[in-house]
Amino acid sequence: MPEKIYQKKSECCGCETCANACPKGIIVMEADAEGFFYPKVTDPDECINCYRCEKVCPFKNASEVPNFQERAIAGYSLSQDEIKASASGGLGTSIAKGFIKQGGVVFGVTYTDDCLGIEYRRAERAEDLEQFRTSKYAQSRKNDVYQKVRADLDAGKKVLFVGLPCDSYALQLFLGKQYENLYVCTLICHGPTSLLVHQQYLQGLIDKHGDCVESFSVRYKKDGWKPYYIRAKFSDGYEHLEKFAESVYGVAFLYMKRPSCNVCPIKRSKIHSDITIGDYHLAAGGKLKPYNPDGVSSAFVHTEKGDYLVSIADNFLVEEIPVKNALYSEAYHKAIQAKANRAKFGRTIAEKGLTAAASLRSIKVIDRMDEMKRALRRGGAKVKKLILGRK
């Protein structure tokens, strides 16, 4: 067996299933210089050639869902506070709340207590769901989440797993059989950045302020749905606020995705889940209904279990929408190509850190060109403003 389970970095999505499934325990996850985790075989001589690592790999086993279906819905929580605290319209948490009310357990992604880590955890009480709320934009660690899900399923519990399409498919391959009591909710995903980005950004704030961070968000809704803000709340009450897109974190999120995300095969009819949730971007600005100024969720419902999840969404307004409107979220149906200078960004972050990488002149030029292109699409007045400079 090769010392590497993948040949190119773009072939590994970092789901960590191979490390969790290896019966000899000889696969560990190690971060590369960009901060993305990859499997490493520690002792190739111990390998028994069972190929379990390959059988549970979502990239190696990417496949069409048999009888794939999709209908689209959109909506938002009926509590304005809940919409504000959620990434989009709060559908993820509303479904999770409804699921717990029905006696189930939920797995989702949270920041660790010091906010420096990001990981999957289990929740069985409604109050434990708050940690999952809103998007974390750096890749999560899986720890033993797949084993925990299996233990709950084998104990006969109803389990809802909310995660990225690669992690969710990885879980199903890890389980190796269909469970009637498993419900899977995936997120539309154009790819996370690395944990190193998250940690360097946050550590920078901690060093500057000299205190612990109590809560952190990259999608804080200061003035409604968009633009997103970063908010770090320190234990002494101090609050750091910054527009996400203008922050070094935001630049890294655009420029330094995991290489596998730029060629991700787990899209649309290859997403193995009951429901896929995302933003209803097309409704932003109130051009379409349903609309809420603090955020709107959209979802593709794939199965009867997906119908059930929508039906139990707690305190949530749901409307059918045309599938073509929901397809506006491109990341649902195609991998988002790497930006020019992706490699340079990665080299710079490895050698000089996040701030140096995000300040690269070439990155700023590309950003400005992208902004111009977007403005051109929107209309003349904005272009003029951009050319003449903005105040």
Ligand X SMILES: Cc1cc2nc3c(=O)[nH]c(=O)nc-3n(C[C@H](O)[C@H](O)[C@H](O)COP(=O)(O)OP(=O)(O)OC[C@H]3O[C@@H](n4cnc5c(N)ncnc54)[C@H](O)[C@@H]3O)c2cc1C
Amino acid (one-letter) located at 133: R
The residue within the footprint of ligand X, chosen from 52, 133, 142, 221 (CB under 6 A), is 133
Give φ, ψ of 172 to 5 degrees: -65, -35
Torsion sign (Cα): 110, 307, 64, 278: negative
Size of the site for ligand X (CB under 6 A): 31
303 makes contact with ligand X (CB under 6 A): no
Residues recorded for the chain: 391
In 10 A of CB 280, how many CB atoms? 31
187 makes contact with ligand X (CB under 6 A): yes
163 makes contact with ligand X (CB under 6 A): yes
335 makes contact with ligand X (CB under 6 A): no
**What tokens were used for 316?**
């949530």
The residue within the footprint of ligand X, chosen from 14, 250, 278, 306 (CB under 6 A), is 278
Q: How far is the CB of 210 from ligand X (least distance, A)?
A: 28
Q: How far is the CB of 64 from ligand X (least distance, A)?
A: 22
Q: Judged by CB, which is closer to ligand X: 109, or 173? A: 109
190 makes contact with ligand X (CB under 6 A): yes
Binding mask 94-113 for ligand X (x = CB under 6 A): --------------xx----
Residue 306, burial from CB neighbour count under 10 angstroms (0-12, 13-18, 19+): buried
The residue within the footprint of ligand X, chosen from 14, 39, 92, 259 (CB under 6 A), is 92
The residue within the footprint of ligand X, chosen from 15, 53, 182, 188 (CB under 6 A), is 188
Q: How far is the CB of 88 from ligand X (least distance, A)?
A: 4
Number of separate helices (H) and strands (E) present in the chain: 14, 13
290 makes contact with ligand X (CB under 6 A): no
What is the distance between the alpha carbons of residues 368 and 366, in angstroms, rounded to a whole number?
Answer: 5
The residue within the footprint of ligand X, chosen from 20, 86, 172, 292 (CB under 6 A), is 86
CB 161 within 8 A of CB 182: yes
89 makes contact with ligand X (CB under 6 A): yes
Q: Judged by CB, which is closer to ligand X: 41, or 252? A: 252
What is the distance between the alpha carbons of residues 25 and 34, in angstroms, rounded to a whole number?
Answer: 25
134 makes contact with ligand X (CB under 6 A): yes
Long-range contacts of residues 148-152, Cβ cutoff 8 Å, at least 24 apart: 148/107, 148/122, 149/107, 149/175, 149/182, 150/174, 150/175, 152/105, 152/122
Q: How far is the CB of 390 from ligand X (least distance, A)?
A: 26
Residues that bind ligand X (CB under 6 A): 86-93, 108-109, 132-137, 140, 162-164, 187-190, 192, 277-279, 297, 329, 331
